[in-house]
């Protein structure tokens, strides 16, 4: 194909970047727009995808989620901690010398593994073992897009070895081996391990450090090649903590490179778990929204790091920090503001502290305020103060933002705006305000509440509003895991939450080898906690904080032990995915070529509301609608389930039948849901739930409904 287009075999060879052979047929090549157009017009071509780039999106996590090795009947013991499962990770590489990849006591590599361990810069096949069973790297797409990249001068390793640390960190969370007595400078101490600590890890490095821009980025061509190889190698789950920019592309999601690869992986029985993005708390920011992906939101743990601040009036305020240095005795405290008789510049905004003269901050602790939802604001404020000779910084910001340790143990303590205002009033009322900063402590359990993290991207889904995203939530704030140079660090992001779900998936796959990716996703979603493990409500941080809803955390907070025995699942197969593709208007020829068989969409086209997800989302209800769902019994052969509905406010929900009966001959039963609105105006989304129960299992899905009397699109008929 390329030969005929470009005119010579040599030009075709030079243009080629990757050839995809295992999960799907295709190639990546360097082409002009006109050449790409000519190929796209060929009848045997499904579509041409322009290359794009993706961003990179523990000691307490597993005990908090109830996944403990102390219980001999736990999921960990039932699955031998996932020893027969293989977790494929697409990321920045791996640091193989880390103790989290030790293979002490491991048995033979699973027989379905067909992969290998590639050698490269500072990495040989001997770096792999029975734990880290595979490592490959893919750089051609990155090099094609970054011609100035010099591989011989780059700080990154042209091999599977990790330079950034992100890949090693997420691998630890998903399947790291037990490593005792780990802490971050004495904080968050305990044993580090992954969700499936005896699962095997295969690393596919597709993300590279770009020295000129000081960023790590990932080419979609390289990601696709990594996914193609992973399908061939025999991984059971793909963990991808990467995401595109928002707003999302206006193309149908099947045309997205990573989404296409995930589609083929799922058809081969591989569950694909992706981070939901770090653009929260704004609505419509969730990424990786394809309905065959498991999209993960991030929550906090029941852990905090209280840091006492003692003011000169003896009032003690508890801030949050990861300060492990010595106590800073009473020190002059300043809020930079114009005293009214100066022509100098002053600013108490954290991002503008550089406007203040050094003498304003030298030898002092500086108070500043920020509205930024990102931890970088605190780090920059600390840099400004330290550079000016300051001794510490107190950052007043909205609650729930991720806490990040400042470099060199410089004291940077976060408080909320109310406490920050209290400190500000003290500085204005005192002639010589002072503050003492004590080292941080670790507090676990109640009264620390669980929250959806501020940065965690939120629904609704901007590409297909009837597909609920995110699917599920897991801890992703201040997660301690391995990084490069055999060290351990704390990181926050949905990048940390996604591998937690990947670890759970690895355990479920070890327990239920015959379950499809959709069945595994359903088990996770329908058994999730809608409260925290202590029964308290989960809040979603933002401005202001609110009770969490499905657009914040999908089905809720993952409950691994319950997911192992869900009773019923909402399953999906190839025909269901074809129904989805038809419902969103993908043409029949492209669907046929994509799925490998002739496809004819019904006329009228099927309703996307009938897609058998473990959720119901109705974004544009005008009057009433009836939809269907099908449940598959994976519990006792003889089971009787009854329905219970929590209808969204102002809606009537009727389920038919109200009782489902399963036996040896009846393993699948469908039911209908009729939803009607009582609202007379356009509304926002309201939320409820639908639960099937047999007194042992509770199979719960979220309901999200919005009334739209006046539709967004004008109908001339």
From its phi and psi, is residue 234 left (phi > 0), alpha (psi between -120 and 50) or beta?
left
Maximum C-alpha span of the chain:
87
Residues 6+ apart with CB under 8 A from 601: 582, 588, 591
Which segments of 102-217 does DSSP mark as H helices, in order? 140-145, 166-175
From its phi and psi, is residue 629 left (phi > 0), alpha (psi between -120 and 50) or beta?
beta
> Would you call 495 a catalytic residue per the annotation?
yes
Cα gap 187→638, rounded to integer Å: 50
Strands (E), 195-350: 200-205, 207-210, 215-219, 237-240, 242-243, 271-275, 293-299, 303-304, 306-311, 316-320, 328-334
Cα gap 489→492, rounded to integer Å: 10
Concatenated DSSP letters for 9-45?
HHHHHHHEEEEE-SSS-EEEE---HHHHHHHHTSTT-
> Would you call 112 a catalytic residue per the annotation?
no
Tokens of 542: 């933002």
Q: Are strands 698-707 and 685-693 parallel, antiparallel or unpaired?
A: antiparallel
Q: Which of 15, 63, 85, 91 is catalytic?
A: 91
166: DSSP letter: H
360 sits in which H/E element: helix 358-361
189 sits in which H/E element: strand 187-192
Q: Is residue 618 within 8 Å of residue 672, measured between CB atoms?
A: no
Q: Which of 74, 457, 478, 495 is catalytic?
A: 495
Q: Which of 51, 74, 162, 166 is catalytic?
A: 166
228 sits in which H/E element: helix 220-233
Backbone dihedral angles phi then psi of residue 274, each to the nearest 5 degrees? -130, 150
Q: Is residue 209 within 8 Å of residue 164, measured between CB atoms?
A: yes
Say whether 501 sits in a helix, a strand or coil: helix
Residues 6+ apart with CB under 8 A from 136: 115, 116, 117, 118, 160, 203, 204, 205, 226, 229
190 sits in which H/E element: strand 187-192
289 sits in which H/E element: none
> Would you call 697 a catalytic residue per the annotation?
no
Residue carrying structure tokens 């007379």: 680
Distance of CA 299 to the CA centre of its chain: 10
Tokens of 83: 């020893």
Concatenated DSSP letters for 530-584?
SB-TTSPBPEE-SSS-EE--HHHHTT-B--HHHHT--SEE----HHHHHHHHHHT
Residue carrying structure tokens 């011989």: 152
Cα gap 503→174, rounded to integer Å: 4
Instruction: Give me the helix-helix angle, 257-267 and 574-583, nearest 10°.
Output: 150
Cα gap 289→276, rounded to integer Å: 8
Catalytic residues, by residue number, are 91, 166, 495
């Amino acid at each position: 194909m390329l030969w005929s287009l470009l005119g010579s075999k040599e030009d075709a060879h030079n243009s080629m970047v990757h050839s995809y052979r295992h999960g799907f047929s295709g190639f990546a090549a360097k082409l002009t727009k006109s050449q790409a157009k000519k190929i796209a017009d060929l009848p045997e071509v499904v579509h041409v995808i322009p290359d794009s780039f993706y961003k990179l999106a523990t000691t307490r996590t597993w005990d908090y989620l109830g996944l403990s090795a102390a219980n001999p009947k736990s999921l960990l013991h039932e699955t031998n901690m996932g020893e027969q499962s293989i977790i494929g990770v697409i990321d920045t590489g791996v640091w193989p010398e880390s103790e989290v990849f030790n293979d002490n006591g491991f048995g033979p590599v699973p027989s379905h593994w067909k992969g290998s361990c590639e050698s490269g810069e500072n990495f040989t096949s001997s770096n792999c073992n029975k734990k880290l069973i595979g490592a490959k790297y893919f750089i051609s797409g990155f090099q094609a897009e970054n011609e100035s990249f010099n591989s011989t001068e780059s700080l990154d390793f042209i091999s599977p070895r990790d330079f950034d640390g992100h890949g090693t960190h997420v691998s630890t969370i998903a399947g790291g081996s037990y490593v005792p007595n780990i802490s971050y400078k004495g904080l968050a101490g305990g044993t580090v391990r992954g969700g499936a600590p005896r699962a095997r890890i295969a690393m596919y490095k597709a993300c590279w450090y770009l020295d000129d821009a000081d960023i790590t980025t990932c080419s979609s061509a390289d990601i696709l090649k990594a996914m193609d190889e992973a399908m061939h190698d025999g991984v059971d789950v793909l963990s991808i903590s990467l995401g595109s920019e928002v707003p999302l592309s206006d193309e149908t999601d099947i045309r997205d490179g990573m989404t296409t690869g995930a589609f083929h992986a799922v058809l081969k029985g591989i569950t694909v778990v992706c981070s939901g993005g770090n653009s929260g708390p704004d609505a419509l920011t969730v990424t990786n929204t394809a309905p065959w992906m498991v999209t993960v939101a991030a929550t906090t743990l029941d852990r905090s790091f209280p840091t006492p601040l003692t003011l000169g009036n003896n009032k003690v305020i508890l801030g949050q920090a990861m300060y492990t240095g010595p106590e800073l005795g009473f020190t002059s405290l300043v809020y930079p503001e114009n005293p009214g008789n100066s022509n100098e510049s002053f600013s108490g905004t954290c991002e503008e502290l550089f406007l203040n003269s050094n003498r304003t901050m030298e030898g002092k602790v500086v108070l500043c305020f920020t509205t930024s939802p990102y931890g970088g604001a605190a780090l920059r404020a600390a840099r400004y103060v330290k550079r000016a000779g300051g001794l510490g910084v107190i950052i007043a910001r909205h609650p729930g933002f991720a806490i990040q340790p400042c470099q060199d143990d410089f004291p940077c303590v976060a408080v909320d705006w109310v406490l920050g205002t209290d400190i500000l009033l003290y500085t204005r009322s005192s002639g010589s305000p002072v503050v003492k900063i004590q080292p941080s402590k670790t507090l676990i359990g109640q009264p620390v509440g669980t929250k959806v993290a501020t940065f965690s991207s939120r629904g609704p889904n901007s590409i297909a509003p009837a597909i609920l995203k995110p699917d599920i939530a897991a801890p992703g704030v201040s997660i301690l895991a391995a990084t490069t140079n055999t060290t351990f660090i704390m990181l926050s992001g949905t990048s940390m939450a996604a591998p937690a779900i990947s670890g759970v998936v690895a355990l479920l796959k070890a327990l239920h080898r015959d379950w499809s990716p959709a069945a595994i996703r359903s088990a996770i979603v329908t058994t999730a906690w809608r409260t925290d493990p202590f029964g308290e409500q989960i809040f979603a941080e933002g401005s202001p904080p609110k009770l969490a809803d499905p657009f914040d955390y999908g089905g809720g907070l993952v409950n691994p032990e319950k997911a192992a025995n869900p009773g019923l699942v909402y399953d999906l197969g190839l025909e269901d995915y074809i129904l989805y593709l038809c419902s969103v208007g993908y043409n029949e020829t492209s669907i046929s070529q994509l799925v490998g068989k002739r496809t004819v969409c019904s006329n009228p086209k099927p309703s996307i509301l009938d897609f058998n997800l473990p959720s119901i989302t109705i974004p544009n209800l005008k009057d009433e609608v009836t939809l269907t769902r099908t449940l598959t019994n994976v519990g006792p052969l003889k089971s009787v389930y009854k329905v219970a509905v929590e209808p969204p406010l102002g809606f009537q929900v009727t389920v038919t039948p109200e009782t489902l009966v399963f036996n040896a001959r009846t393993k699948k039963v469908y039911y209908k849901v009729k939803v009607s609105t009582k609202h007379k105006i356009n509304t926002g989304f309201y939320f409820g739930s639908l639960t099937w129960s047999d007194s042992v299992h509770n199979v719960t899905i979220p309901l999200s409904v919005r009334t739209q009397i006046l539709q967004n699109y004008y109908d001339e008929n």
